[in-house]
């Protein structure tokens, strides 16, 4: 008998009809002879609605209370789904995160899971029941309710699968798998049969929002077999797994992009030890995440510095750096919020040269100016003007033949 963890996202449980539909899918899995644990999100839009309510009371609410509030969305769906299962004649029981107990640290609004007590869950499985667990939440050592950050139900699913050594963790969502890129930008984007944890991490962190990043990290660390599937259509979905040694890896698996970037350039700063720290230190101290960084080769004892931040942090970062630029006697400080990052991701890059040159040639042919470049073992990213995003992604998708299935 296999143990399957199934996680259903907000749209999959967005109405009573959809909850009944989920119940039927869960029951079918159970009747096929599996033990089933189901993790659900709140009904679609509910978490946003709750956050909006809290903002009307206080834009920066007490985070303990924020977690008490936003954790309620999932309590609704676990109860409704369990009712639906019981009504269908499939015995089920619901648990909040605290009831399981999913023990977390006390970092309200973005807590991390420390431990999972499996006793309740095991006992129910043994008694032939489906166990329905609220995603996105847990409780800390003192019993305070905590939440795991937006999209955290994915992480609940993977963590339960890891703790109970499930045979597979299935993430049901409104898309039927992980695609070579966003099909809204490239209509002939292709569903991937499989992708490695490493690639998925890059795709997720680069703005492909199918899975919460932390859930992928977790799955990689604990070797959880993870599959993304549609709750509305039948299909194999995408398996997220290890790199198989004997398998020929495609050169590029996907193209990720991020519209939320902004660029800051400081020109003519003294080319001396400690300058990078003087510029980036205060930005980091203000809790602003820095992404790409480029320092030019110095000339005339000065150099130029360019880096990117999240667009939401752009003005704040510029304000901090205005002061720094004066202190350093920089010649000029400027910002550009109309840029995007486009990245090629693929483990096959490791063993093949020429990916970068094909990328640059393709962009040149389209007349797209590259503003920044950065590379890592399995990724090449470029920053380009926002208006070229669609063109760049489509041209690259075409150039690397991502619409065609790789030869088996």
Under the rule (CB under 5 A), what is the footprint of Mg ion? 9, 151
| DSSP letters spanning 337-404 | -SEEEEEEE-GGGGG-S-HHHHHHHHHHHTTPPP-EEEEETTEEEEEEEGGGHHHHHHHHHHHTTTTS
Minimum CB separation from ligand ASP for residue 42, in Å?
Answer: 4
b/e 158-190 (16+ beta carbons within 10 angstroms → b):
bbbbbbbebebbbbbbebbbbbbbbeebbeebb
Minimum CB separation from Mg ion for residue 166, in Å?
Answer: 19
For 298, how many CA atoms within 13 A lie in the half-sphere containing its CB? 10
Minimum CB separation from Mg ion for residue 151, in Å?
Answer: 4
For residue 304, the partner it binds in Mg ion, ligand ASP, none, with Cβ less than 5 to 8 A by kind, is none
Minimum CB separation from ligand ASP for residue 147, in Å?
Answer: 8
- Between CA 350 and CA 252 the distance in angstroms is 10
Minimum CB separation from ligand ASP for residue 70, in Å?
Answer: 7
For residue 82, the partner it binds in Mg ion, ligand ASP, none, with Cβ less than 5 to 8 A by kind, is none
- Between CA 134 and CA 4 the distance in angstroms is 16
Minimum CB separation from Mg ion for residue 209, in Å?
Answer: 7
For residue 124, the partner it binds in Mg ion, ligand ASP, none, with Cβ less than 5 to 8 A by kind, is none
Q: Which SS3 state, helix, strand or coil, does residue 93 take?
A: strand
Put residue 336 in one of left, alpha, beta given phi > 0 → left and psi -120 to 50 → alpha.
Answer: beta
For residue 150, the partner it binds in ligand ASP, Mg ion, none, with Cβ less than 5 to 8 A by kind, is ligand ASP
Which is closer to ligand ASP, CB of 97 or CB of 177?
97
Which is closer to Mg ion, CB of 151 or CB of 250?
151
DSSP one-letter code for 184: T
- Helix 213-221 and helix 197-205, axial crossing angle in degrees, nearest 10: 160
> In angstroms, what CA-CA distances link 138 with 118, 152, 155, 406?
13, 11, 11, 42
Which is closer to Mg ion, CB of 37 or CB of 383?
37
Q: Which SS3 state, helix, strand or coil, does residue 238 take?
A: strand
Which is closer to ligand ASP, CB of 42 or CB of 145?
42
Containing 165, the helix (H) or strand (E) segment is none
Which is closer to Mg ion, CB of 70 or CB of 382?
70
- Between CA 210 and CA 139 the distance in angstroms is 26
For residue 265, the partner it binds in Mg ion, ligand ASP, none, with Cβ less than 5 to 8 A by kind, is none
Which is closer to Mg ion, CB of 39 or CB of 347?
39
* Best CA proximity match to 383, nearest among 363, 407, 362, 361: 363
* Best CA proximity match to 156, nearest among 237, 66, 224, 82: 224
Which is closer to ligand ASP, CB of 12 or CB of 302?
12
Minimum CB separation from ligand ASP for residue 308, in Å?
Answer: 25
Its sign, for the CA torsion 118, 124, 128, 134, is negative
Which is closer to ligand ASP, CB of 41 or CB of 381?
41
For residue 268, the partner it binds in ligand ASP, Mg ion, none, with Cβ less than 5 to 8 A by kind, is none
Tokens for 182? 């966003």
Minimum CB separation from ligand ASP for residue 229, in Å?
Answer: 16
Cβ-contact 402, 254 below 8 angstroms: yes
Which is closer to ligand ASP, CB of 170 or CB of 343?
170
For residue 42, the partner it binds in Mg ion, ligand ASP, none, with Cβ less than 5 to 8 A by kind, is ligand ASP
For residue 47, the partner it binds in Mg ion, ligand ASP, none, with Cβ less than 5 to 8 A by kind, is ligand ASP
**Cβ-closest position to Mg ion:** 151
For residue 135, the partner it binds in Mg ion, ligand ASP, none, with Cβ less than 5 to 8 A by kind, is ligand ASP
State the residues that interact with ligand ASP by CB under 6 A.
9-10, 41-42, 47, 73, 135-136, 150-154
Minimum CB separation from ligand ASP for residue 150, in Å?
Answer: 4
């Amino acid at each position: 008998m296999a143990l399957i963890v199934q996680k259903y996202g907000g749209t999959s449980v967005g109405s009573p009809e959809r909850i009944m539909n989920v119940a039927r899918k869960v029951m079918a899995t159970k009747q096929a002879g599996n033990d089933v644990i189901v993790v659900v999100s709140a009904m679609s839009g509910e978490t946003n609605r709750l956050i909006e309510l809290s903002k009307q009371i206080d834009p920066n609410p007490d985070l303990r209370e924020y977690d008490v509030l936003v954790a309620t969305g999932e309590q609704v769906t676990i109860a409704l789904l369990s009712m639906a299962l019981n009504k269908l004649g499939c015995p089920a029981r619901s648990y909040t995160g605290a009831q399981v107990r999913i023990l977390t640290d006390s970092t309200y609004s973005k807590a991390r899971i420390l431990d999972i007590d499996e006793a309740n869950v095991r006992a129910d499985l043994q008694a032939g029941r489906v166990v329905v667990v609220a995603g996105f939440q847990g409780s800390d050592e003192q019993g305070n309710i905590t939440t795991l950050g937006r999209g955290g139900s994915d992480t609940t699913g993977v963590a339960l699968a890891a703790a109970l050594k499930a045979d597979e963790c299935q993430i049901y969502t409104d898309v039927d798998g992980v695609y070579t890129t966003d099909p809204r930008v490239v209509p002939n984007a292709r569903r991937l049969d499989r992708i490695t944890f490493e690639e998925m991490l890059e795709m997720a962190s680069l703005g492909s929002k199918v899975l919460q990043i932390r859930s992928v990290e977790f799955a990689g660390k604990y070797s959880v077999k993870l599959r993304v599937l549609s709750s509305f259509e039948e299909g194999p979905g995408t398996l997220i797994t290890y790199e198989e040694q004997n398998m020929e890896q495609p050169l590029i698996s996907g193209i990720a992009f991020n519209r939320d970037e902004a660029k800051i350039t400081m020109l003519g700063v003294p080319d001396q030890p400690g300058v990078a720290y003087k510029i980036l230190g205060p930005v980091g101290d203000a809790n602003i995440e820095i992404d790409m960084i480029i320092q030019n080769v110095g000339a005339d004892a000065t150099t130029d510095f360019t880096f990117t931040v999240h667009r939401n942090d752009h003005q704040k970062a510029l304000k901090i750096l205005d002061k720094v630029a004066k202190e350093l006697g920089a010649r000029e400080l400027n910002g550009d919020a109309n840029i995007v990052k486009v990245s090629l991701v693929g483990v096959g890059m490791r063993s093949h040269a020429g990916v970068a040159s094909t990328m640059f040639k393709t962009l040149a042919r389209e007349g797209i100016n590259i503003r920044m470049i950065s590379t890592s073992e399995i990724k090449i990213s470029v920053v380009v003007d926002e208006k070229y995003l669609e063109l760049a992604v489509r041209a690259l998708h075409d150039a690397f033949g991502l619409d065609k299935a790789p030869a088996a």
